[in-house]
Amino acid sequence: MKRKRRTGLIISVILAIVVVVGIAGIVHQRFGKTSTTTVRLGLVGTDSEPVWDNVRKRLKKQGINIEYVIFNDYVQPDVALKDGKIDMHSCLTRYYFESYNKQQNAHLTAIGNTVISPLGLYSQKYKKLQDLPNGATIAIPNEPTTLGRGLNVLQSAGLIKVKKDSGIKPSLKDITSNPRNLQFKEVDPATAARALNSVDAAIINGNYAVAANLNPKKDSIYLEPINKAAKPYVNIIAVQEKNKDNEVYKKVVAAYQTEQTKQAIEKTYKGAQEAAWPIYGRN
């Protein structure tokens, strides 16, 4: 009898251990270490990494790991997103993105605004816009979209007028009024800052201005107004259309569009880029 009781006691203890271990496993699964979701984020170059590092650190606490995929041009991010090689990208203007999406029927969509980088007119010879002389030569980016944008900037500055129906992409042929007889020298956008040595003024993209140690807010003689007309040049976060309601991707956008990120943008770019969502809305 004693042996039977002892055997029964041992079996009871073993069963109790099994139950405890099982419960512990369930508790660990539900309340233990949080699983991590990796999001492959496309960027062009590395200049936006300081801001995304700030966002990535906060997302990590939510179990979201941002993995950078770096591209060397502005064509490949859309292609990679369309092909599913990345989960989202954050490097293109709304205008460029929507043009590609429509032309390629790519089924991509924007889910959040990030930054806008205003074009500036810079000069080493003149400190004020009104000082530009008649016949002044202005270097302007030769890339069609940026050239058109630059002409619209010069129009907003009161230097020229372009055809009303030329939209956001006028060409030099669309100039209808040029009272100062300004001359234009088309240059590669990346070399516009270097062209300052040989021209009276130059239209320079924000990122290239900063690379040339120019502060857009302090050094430009005219800076593109951040208004409704500039909305097509807002940079966006994009995903495949089928993923527009993905909860993880929504959390990425929410983490980006915060005061912490806005401060990081101001610290990093010093006016070359500005937070777009406070001005144009979150999407």
Domain ranges in the chain are 37-117+230-280, 120-225
Q: What is the mean pLDDT of residues 256-272?
A: 93
Look at residue 208 in the predicted model and tell me its pLDDT.
86
Q: Is 33 helix (H, G, I), strand (E, B) or coil?
A: coil
Look at residue 20 in the predicted model and tell me its pLDDT.
43
Asked if residues 120 and 209 have their Cβ atoms less than 8 Å apart, the reply is: yes
According to DSSP, residue 133 is labeled: P
Q: What is the mean pLDDT of residues 61-77?
A: 95
Asked if residues 169 and 148 have their Cβ atoms less than 8 Å apart, the reply is: yes
Place of tokens 């259309």: 241
Q: Of the candidates 199, 189, 194, which has an alpha carbon nearest to the alpha carbon of residue 125?
A: 199
Q: Is 239's pLDDT higher than 70?
A: yes
pLDDT in tens, 177-232: 999 999 999 999 989 999 999 999 999 988 888 889 999 989 999 999 999 889 99
Q: Of the candidates 114, 135, 131, which has an alpha carbon nearest to the alpha carbon of residue 52?
A: 114
Q: Is 179 exposed, middle or buried (0-12, 13-18, 19+ CB in 10 A)?
A: exposed
CATH architecture assigned to 37-117+230-280 = 3-Layer(aba) Sandwich (3.40)
Burial code (b: 16+ CB inside 10 Å, e: under 16) for 80-98 equals bbbeeebbbbbbbbbbbbb
User: Model's pTM, two decimal places?
Assistant: 0.80
More confident site: 168 or 236: 236
Look at residue 5 in the predicted model and tell me its pLDDT.
53
Q: Token digits for 173? A: 């042929």
CATH architecture assigned to 120-225 = 3-Layer(aba) Sandwich (3.40)
* Contacts for 77 with CB less than 8 Å, ≥ 6 apart: 42, 43, 44, 71, 86, 89, 91, 92
Q: Of the candidates 263, 268, 253, which has an alpha carbon nearest to the alpha carbon of residue 114?
A: 253
Would you say the CATH fold of 120-225 matches that of 37-117+230-280? yes
Confidence of residue 31 (pLDDT cuts 50, 70, 90): very low
